[in-house]
Structure 1
Amino acid sequence: MEDSDNIRLLLEKYVEGKCSAEEIAEVIAYFKREGNHDEFPDVSFVTSTSGAVPRLDAGKNELIFRQVLAEAGTIERRRAKRRSHRKYMVIAATLLVVISCGSVFLKNYLLPVGTIPEAANEITLELGDGKVRVIETASSGQVRNASGKVVGQQENNRISYSEKKSNTGEMVYNTIRVPYGKRFDVKLSDGTVVYLNSGTSLKYPEYFPERGKRKVELTGEAFFEVAEDKERPFIVHTEGVNVKVFGTRFNVMAYPEDNLADVVLVEGSVGMYEGRYVEEQATILTPGHKGSFSKSDKETDVSLVETSVYTSWIAGGLVFRHMTFENMMKKLERQYGVQITIKNKTLAGEEFSASFEREPIEEVLEYFRITYGVRYETEGQHIIIN
C-alpha cells in the first residue's frame, strides 16, 4: 500500500473515532519525511492527502495545514525545555483539535472529569433612570425605555434599537453588562452592531444626536461594525485610550485588570489617542494592524497581526498564538465564567499556541493535560493548576 493511501486511511479512521495517538503521530512523521527535513509539505499535498476525510468542509484542509505548521514551529523552538519524545504527540494533539472541528475533540483520549458548573450571573440592562432589567437570551420581545416607550426589539442574543436620530437633544444612556461566560450583541440606533465578549459592559445612548459625535463607553472586549456617517464620527471611550472611526470594523479589548488596551483593525481606518490628548494626535491604524496602548507608560505600539486570531471569539472560538499560559488562563476565565489559580509559576510564563472552537472547559483543560502534562483539579467553578 502506498504511504499516502495509508495516511488517508488513518485520517478517515480518526474521524470515525478509531485512530490511536501513535497512528496520528505516524501521520505527522510521514509529513516530516516527505518534506525537506524539518519542513512540512505544501498545502496541495495536505489537501490531496486529507481530501477524502468525511465531514471536512471547504477550507478545513487549509486550516489543518496552517495549524499543524504553526504548532510545529512553536514546538521546535521550545524543544530544549521539553522532552523530545513528546514533540510528535504535541503536534498530533493539535491535529486532533483541528480535524475534530469541535465535534470529536480528543474523543478517545479524555479521562473522566467532574463537570464544572456554569456561571449563574445574568446579562443585565441598566436604563437611563437607574433601573436594572435582566435579559433572558432565550426570549424575544419589545425593548422599552425607562418611560415605557418601545425603543427596539430583542431577538434572543441581540437587542436592536430603532434606527433614528434624536430630535430633542436630550441624551439618555443605557448600560448593558455581560458577565463572564456569556456574550451578547447590540445593534445601536445608527445601525452600528456591537458584539460584546464575556466580562464586558457598554454604555450607549438610546439615540445618537443629530449632529456631532456618536459616543459610547466600553469596558472589556467588543467587536464593532460601525455604520458609516462622515458627518458624525464614532468614538469608543475606554480606560486610558479612545478610538475614533467613521465607518469600519475593528476589535477593542480593554479590560480594567489588563495593562494593555488593544485595538485590532479589520477594515477601514481608526485613530487611537489617549484621553488627555486631542484627536489630531491620534495613532492611525490601517487594516491588519494592532495598536496596543500601555496604561502604565502611556505609549502605543503598532504591529502587523493576523486579525482572525483576535476576532475568533465572535463565533465562539478561542485562538492563542505564542501567548503565555497565564494570559491564556485569563481568557478562559472570561470565556467560561470560572476562576483559575496557577500555582506553577514557571508554567505561567511559558508560551503556547492552540485553537479551540466550542469545546466545554473540561475538554480544553484535558487538551493541556494530555498535550503538555498540565496537572489540574477542580472545586466547583474554581480550577487549580498545580
Structure 2
Amino acid sequence: MDEKHISDIIDRIATNTATDEDLAVYSAWCDAQQAGKPAIGDLSAQETLILEKIHRQTGITISRRKIFPWRIAAAAALAGILAGGFYWYRHSSRPTQVAMQTAPAPADVPAGKNTATLTLANGKKILLSDTQTGKLTEQAGVEVNKAADGSLEYRPVNGATAVQYNTLSTARGEQYQITLADGTRVWLNAATILTFPASFAQQAERAVEVNGEAYFEVAADPTRPFKVRTNHQQIQVLGTSFNVNNYADEPCARTTLLSGAVKINEAQVLKPGQQAVTEKNGTLKIATVNTDGIVAWKNGYFEFNNENIYGIMRKISRWYNVEVIYEGDIPTNEMEGTISRFENVSKVLNTIEKAGLLKFRIVTGKIYVSKY
C-alpha cells in the first residue's frame, strides 16, 4: 500500500465519497498503525492538507496535536457532521460514517421541551409552560416576567425587602433559561434544580445552589462575588461563563470554565478551557477539555467525546425522560458523535446503531440496549 493510495482514501473519507472497499483498506491500514507496524511513511503533510481542507470548507480550525491517523479521519468527517450527518468511531476498528435516518419508529419518544416549574418563597408553584408572556408576580422588590422568547426574567423595581428564595426546576425532558435579578443568565439542562434569592440587593455576596447541570454567564460585580454551591464543589467567580454538572447519577462533579476565572473550593483557580473534576471521595483533578462539547446541550446538540454507551445513555435518558435497561454483556467502546437534541429518540438511536456495536428497542417509555 503506497502513500498516494492511502492519501486518496483519506481524502474520499473527508468528502463522504469513500466506498466500502476504501473503508476496508483504511481499516487494515489503521490496524497496522495501531499494531506498531506502519504500512507507509510519515503522514504529517497529509494531515496538514486535510486540516486545511476542513478549515476552508467549514471555517473550523482544528489544532494540530499528536493524534492517531483514525482521529485525523474523524476530524475530516466534520464536514459531514455539519451537513446533518453523524460520525462514530470504534477503537481498534474502522471509522463508520452514517447518514441520518428519517423514518419514524414505533413507540417513538419526542425530544424534550422548553419549560420548567418556578416555586416562589411562599410555596406557590408556577408551571411556566402554562403561563402567558408578561408579569407573573412581584416579590422582594423584584418583578418576575416571562419574556417573549419564553425565558424567565427577574427585574428589580423597588427597594428589596427581606431575602426570599425561589426555586426553578426542570424535570427529565425539560430545559429552561432564566435571567437573575443581577443580570446573570442561567441555562438549566434536564432534571436540574436552581435555588436563588429573588433579589441580591441586601446580600454581601451573590450565592445560588445547583443540583443537575447548568450553564452560567455571570454579570460582573467586583464588589460582590458570585458563588455557586453544589453537593461536591463551591465555585466563586467575579464575572465569567462556565458550566456545572453535578448529577447524582454521574461518577463525578465537573465545573468547566469557558471565560474569565473561577475558584473551586476556595483553593484551585481554573483557567479558560479547564475543567475541575471532583470524585465521589472528594479527590479534585484539573483537566483541559473541549469546551464546545461541554456546552453543546445549551446550543441544542448532543456531543459525545470519547464516551461509552453508559455515559451516552444517561444523557439520552434525562432529555427524553425514558428508562434505560441493559440486556446481557454491553460493549464499552468509546464513541464520538454530534446530533441535534430536537430529533425524536428513534433517530438518535438508529444513528448509534449504525456503528455496529449496539441495538435498541423502544417500549413505552423504556429503551432496551443489547449487543449488536
1:114 aligns with 2:119: no
The farther-off stretch of 197-206 and 106-115 is 106-115
Read off the aligned partner of 1:350 and give its amino acid letter: N
Query: Which residue number corresponds to residue 41 of structure 1?
Result: 46
Greater share of helix residues, 1 or 2?
1
Q: Determine the structure 1 residue equivalent to 2:71.
A: 73
**From 353, 356, 366, the counterpart of 1:369:** 353
**Distance in structure 2 (CA, Å) of the matches to 1:289 and 1:242:** 16
Match 1:101 to one of 84, 104, 125: 84
Show the 5 A alignment for 1:95-244: 98-101=81-84, 113-118=105-110, 123-136=116-129, 139-145=132-138, 150-163=143-156, 167-168=160-161, 170-244=162-236
- How much has 1:150 moved relative to structure 2? 3.6
2-side partners of 1:49 and 1:93: how far apart? 6
RMSD: 4.1
From 259, 275, 279, the counterpart of 1:290: 275
The answer to whether the 8 Å contact 2:205/2:227 transfers is yes
The aligned counterpart of 1:319 is: 303
Amino acid of the residue matched to residue 353 of structure 2? R
Tell me the distance in 1 between the aligned counterparts of 2:337 and 2:250. 21
1:328 aligns with 2:326: no
Is contact 2:218-2:226 (8 Å) kept? Answer: yes
Cross-structure match for 2:294: 310
Deviations 1:190-247, CA, capped at 9 Å, x for gaps? 0100011111111111111334111111010001111111111111111132111111
Give unpaired runs (5+ residues) of structure 2.
1-6, 31-39, 87-96
**Percent identical:** 25
**Which of 335, 342, 364 pairs up with 1:352?**
335
Q: Distance in 2 between matches of 1:106 and 1:94?
A: 10
CA change 1:109–1:356 in 2 (3 A) is: closer
Instruction: Measure, in 1, the Cα distance between the counterparts of 2:184 and 2:70.
Output: 40
- Is 1:385 the counterpart of 2:360? The answer is no
| CA distance 1:190–1:93, shift in 2 (3 Å) | same
Runs of 4+ in 1 over 4 A off after TM superposition: 23-29, 35-40, 43-51, 91-97, 105-112, 119-122, 146-149, 163-166
Residues of 1 paired with 2:257 and 2:78: CA distance?
A: 29
Do the aligned partners of 1:136 and 1:156 also contact (CA within 8 Å) in 2? Answer: no
- What SS does the corresponding residue of 1:183 show, helix, strand or coil? strand
| Runs of 5+ consecutive residues of structure 1 not aligned to the other structure | 75-87, 274-278
Are the structure 2 counterparts of residues 188 and 43 from structure 1 closer, same or farther at C-alpha, using a change threshold of 3 Å?
A: farther
Alignment TM-score, normalising by the size of structure 1: 0.74
Distance 1:27 1:264, change over 3 A: farther
Counterpart selection for 2:253 from 256, 261, 271: 261
Q: How many residues align?
A: 344
Matched, 1:270 2:262: yes
Task: Check whether the contact 1:25–1:92 (CA below 8 A) recurs between aligned residues.
Answer: no
